[in-house]
Structure formats: C-alpha cells, structure tokens
C-alpha cells in the first residue's frame, strides 16, 4: 500500500510541476500538436493535386539555407548564404507567377521574416519541447524495432542556434499548414581547398527517408524538380550523391524525427566553387541562379499538373 501512495504522490508532483513550470498556452499547444505520426502519411500527392485542381491555395515556404550568424560555406568572398538568398528571391518570384501558389519567402538580405524571427525567439521552449517529444517517440519506435535508423550521407551537425531555427520552421510550417517547403543550399566538401582541381560538381536533392510521414509526396515533387533541372544542369558526380535523389533521416530541414507534416525538398543546387556560381561575375552568376529558380518552379508546377 505504501508503495502505491508513494507512486501517486510522485505522479502528482510531476503533473503539478508540468503545469507550474510551463505556461498554459505552451501545454495546450503541445497537447494540440497534430504533427506527423509514423506509419500514416501526413500529406499525399493525390490530396495536393486535388487541392490545386479545386483552386485552393497551395502554401509553399521557400527557405534560403543558413543565416547571417552561420552563413554556410564560402568561396572567395561569396558566401553560401548570399547564393541561397539570391536564388530564394528568384524562386519565390517565379512561383508567385502561378496564382494558385501562396508563396512565403522565409528570409531575405534583411534576415528572417519578422513573424518567423519572433517565433524563434518567443516559442523557444515550445520548439525544444516539440523536438524532444518527437525524438523520444522515434527512439522508442527504433527500440521496439518498428523503425530503422538509416544514415546514407553524413552531415555536419547543426549548431544549437541553427537547430532551433530549423525545428522552429518545421513547427511553424505545421501550425500554418504549409504544403511544401523548399530548402535552398549550395554544396561543398571537406578538404576541397587542398585539391588543386575540386573533385565534385552538380546538384542533388535530399528527401525525407521513406519511413517518414511526409516522404511519398516529397519524393514525387523531388522527382519532378530533378527532371526539370536535368534539362539544363548536370547532376552531382559525388559518389555518395550518384542517386541524385537521396533519402535522409538526419536533416532537420526535411523533417528529422518526423517533425514535418508538409512535403519537403532540400536542394543542393551545385558546388559553390563551380565556375558558374561563386567565381563567376555577378551578372553571370545571377543568370545561372535565375535559370535554377525557373527550372525548380517549372518542376513544382509540373508535379501539380500531373
Ligand atoms: Zn548549406
């Protein structure tokens, strides 16, 4: 009997402390999270196309990768962030030409959109809770043997600040029912500066690994984007990217721990040091970035018109 009383007391303390330490809106939000559940599709290509045909706005979030405090890789004096921001601007403009798309550009040269910047700041607690909760579910399923951990390509771990923004973007995208998230990056590889001629060139797409709830639709969209890019650009010749479309469990951007409901595609558009990108004159570089944007938008539109 004593054991039960002790147990009840412990439980009571836990419950009271949860409500005491977390503001009520936060508790409500956590309980209300309807984010992706393993084994159930959070989004399907069929639903997306129906929505498009029924003239309901398709919400697309364009995310130029990295930010002013962590700008990604660099070549000469051109930062990856600069390429990502410029391409992001062109892509958002291109997509907006289709009035069925409601396009949100996550950041510009001036930083993240105010509503996102505020969200990262004010909802820090909620965002970490969300990540911890999703990670715990996935770990438990891996422990039970229902989900397999898969690592195809190793990535540099995101810093805490970057991780907060990326999980924040996922949570915000879930809350705002974003249909598609497109992350823009340029690639590089360790030890490149020691090579007299850099080894790799070309684009690759990272997509949610098949066990994630947003995987199938993301792959369908990714295939259409890759097909469109292939008409004018060469795919990656990196041996780990030979598939061009690469399943990934670890990248937060595409929903690690099953944290993203909407479809998501992370495009590494090419290697930063390729002559058409960082080393090119600003005018030539812009021309190439505009082509990449146009082809990406074309691929996305093709998916919806299928
Ligand atoms: Zn990057």
Using CA atoms, how far apart are residues 62 and 23, in angstroms rounded to an integer?
31
Measured in Å, residue 46 CA sits from the centre of ligand 1 at 31
C-beta of residue 186 within 8 angstroms of C-beta of residue 199: no
Q: Can you tell me which residue has the tokens 């399923």?
A: 141
Q: How far is the CA of 65 from the centre of ligand 1 (A)?
A: 6
Q: How close is the Cα of 283 to the center of ligand 1, in Å?
A: 22
Ligand 1 centroid distance, CA of 258 (Å): 21
Residue 27's pLDDT band (cuts 50, 70, 90): very low
Which pLDDT band holds residue 35 (cuts at 50, 70, 90)?
Answer: low
The CB density around residue 80, as the number of other CB atoms within 10 Å, is 23
CATH for the stretch 44-188+198-305: 3.40.630.40
Rounded to the nearest angstrom, the distance between the alpha carbon of 154 and the centre of ligand 1 is: 14
Matching residue, tokens 């670890």: 250
Structure confidence at residue 32 (pLDDT): 45
pLDDT digits (tens, 9 = 90+) for 96-124: 999 999 999 999 999 999 999 999 999 99
* The model's pTM: 0.88
- Domain ranges for the chain, please list them: 1-32, 44-188+198-305
Between helix 45-53 and helix 282-305 the angle, nearest 10°, is 90
Range 263-281 average pLDDT: 98
Instruction: Give the pair of three-digit tokens for residue 161.
Output: 């600040």
Helix (H/G/I), strand (E/B), else coil: 213: coil
Residue 292, pLDDT > 90, answer yes
Task: Tell me how far the alpha carbon of residue 223 lies from the centroid of ligand 1, in angstroms.
Answer: 21
Comparing 159 with 112, which gets the higher pLDDT? 112
- Ligand 1 centre from 125 Cα, in Å? 26
For residue 183, report the distance from its CA to the centre of ligand 1, in Å: 9
CA–centroid distance, 187 to ligand 1, in Å, is: 6
Q: Ligand 1 centroid vs 253 CA: distance in angstroms?
A: 11
Q: What are phi and psi of 2, to 5 degrees?
A: -55, -40
Whether the CB-CB separation of 41 and 59 falls below 8 Å is answered with no
- Mean pLDDT lowest among 30-39, 63-72, 115-124, 170-179: 30-39
Q: Can you give the length of the chain in residues? A: 306
Mean per-residue pLDDT, 51-78 = 96
Residue 196 Cα to ligand 1 middle (Å) = 23
């Amino acid at each position: 009997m004593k054991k039960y009383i002790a147990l009840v007391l412990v439980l009571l303390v836990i419950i009271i402390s949860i409500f005491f330490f977390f503001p009520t809106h936060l508790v409500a939000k956590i309980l209300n999270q309807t984010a992706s559940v393993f084994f159930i599709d959070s989004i399907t290509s069929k639903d997306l196309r129906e929505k498009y045909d029924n003239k309901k706005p398709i919400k697309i979030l364009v995310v130029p990768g990295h930010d002013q405090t962590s700008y990604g890789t660099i070549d000469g004096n051109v930062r990856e962030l600069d390429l990502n921001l410029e391409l992001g601007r062109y892509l958002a403009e291109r997509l907006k030409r289709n009035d069925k798309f409601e396009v949100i550009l996550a950041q510009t040269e001036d930083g993240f959109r105010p509503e996102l910047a505020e969200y990262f700041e004010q909802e820090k607690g909620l965002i970490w809770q969300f990540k911890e909760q999703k990670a715990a579910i996935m770990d438990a399923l891996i422990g039970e043997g229902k989900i397999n951990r898969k690592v195809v390509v190793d990535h540099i771990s995101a810093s805490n600040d970057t991780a907060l923004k990326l999980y924040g973007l996922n949570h915000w995208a879930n809350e705002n029912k974003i249909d598609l998230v497109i992350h823009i990056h340029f690639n590089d590889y360790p030890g490149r500066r020691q090579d007299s001629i850099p080894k790799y060139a070309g684009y690759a797409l990272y997509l949610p690994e098949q066990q994630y709830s947003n995987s199938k639709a993301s792959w369908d969209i990714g295939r259409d984007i890759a097909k469109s890019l292939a008409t004018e650009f060469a795919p990656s010749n990196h041996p780990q990217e030979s598939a061009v479309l690469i399943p990934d469990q670890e990248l937060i951007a595409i929903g690690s721990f099953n944290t993203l409901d909407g479809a998501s595609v992370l495009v590494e558009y090419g290697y930063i040091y390729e002559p058409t990108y960082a080393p090119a004159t600003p005018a030539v570089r812009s021309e190439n970035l505009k082509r990449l944007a146009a082809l990406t938008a074309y691929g996305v539109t093709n998916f919806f018109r299928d």
